[in-house]
Amino acid sequence: MSKIRITKQFSFETGHALYGYDGKCKNVHGHSYNLHVTVIGTPIADTSNVKYGMVIDFGDLKKIVKEEIVDVFDHATVFNKNTPHVELAKELADRDHNVLLVDYQPTSEMMVIDFAEKIKNRLPENIKLHSLRLSETASSYAEWYASDNA
Ligand SMILES: Nc1nc2c(c(=O)[nH]1)N=C([C@H](O)[C@H](O)COP(=O)(O)OP(=O)(O)OP(=O)(O)O)CN2
Ligand SMILES: [Zn+2]
């Protein structure tokens, strides 16, 4: 049976700031992020399986990505916890803002690496993460490919 890639798209609104950056993105600001998640596998051949003909039910993929990424990052502001931004984060959290501290500079590149690990850990054994595309703006995106990281 052929290997097939299937893709589901997600969007979420997230704030961030790039500590130490030499441009306007050092300021707290936000993006309407767009995430394409592509997995690869073999469509189920067992006619008695309710998921017959599917690599993975789009609904099951949606559940994983929603729980791991969308529900966590949507309407949160992300800061690198290894920088003085941790103080700003604490102030916001104390005022009941949704703050997310991560262990990296929250660029598209670093976020997509984080997302790849989180999604890979949740996929069934027979389904592999093929690639991710994270768009920060209409003209800027970062991609993670399993083949680049084998
Ligand atoms: N390699 C990266 N460069 C930049 C990132 C990033 O994640 N990876 N992030 C930023 C800022 O957070 C912000 O996204 C600005 O990006 P930019 O594309 O420069 O935004 P503009 O609004 O200026 O884009 P235009 O569409 O060109 O107007 C900066 N760099
Ligand atoms: Zn930005």
- Which of 13, 36, 68, 75 is catalytic? The answer is 75
- Taking the CA atoms of the chain, what radius of gyration do you get in angstroms? 17
Provide the pLDDT for residue 106: 98
**Domain ranges for the chain:** 4-149
| Closest ligand to Cα 23 | 1
4-149: which CATH number, 1.20.1250.20, 3.30.830.10, 3.30.479.10, 3.80.30.20?
A: 3.30.479.10
Instruction: Label residue 48 by pLDDT band (50, 70, 90).
Output: very high
User: How many Å apart are CA 135 and CA 47, to the nearest integer?
Assistant: 38
| Closest ligand to Cα 136 | 1
Note the residue count of the chain.
150
Per residue in 114-145, pLDDT tens? 999 999 999 999 999 999 999 999 999 999 99
Judge if the beta carbon of residue 136 lies within 6 A of ligand 1.
yes
Q: What's the gap in Å between 53 CA and the centre of ligand 1?
A: 40
Q: Find the mean pLDDT for residues 39-50.
A: 98
Going by C-beta distance under 8 Å and a sequence separation of 6 or more, which residues neighbour residue 54? 43, 44
User: How many Å apart are CA 134 and CA 69, to the nearest integer?
Assistant: 12
Assessment of whether the complete model's pTM goes beyond 0.90: yes
ipTM of the complex: 0.91
Provide the pLDDT for residue 110: 98
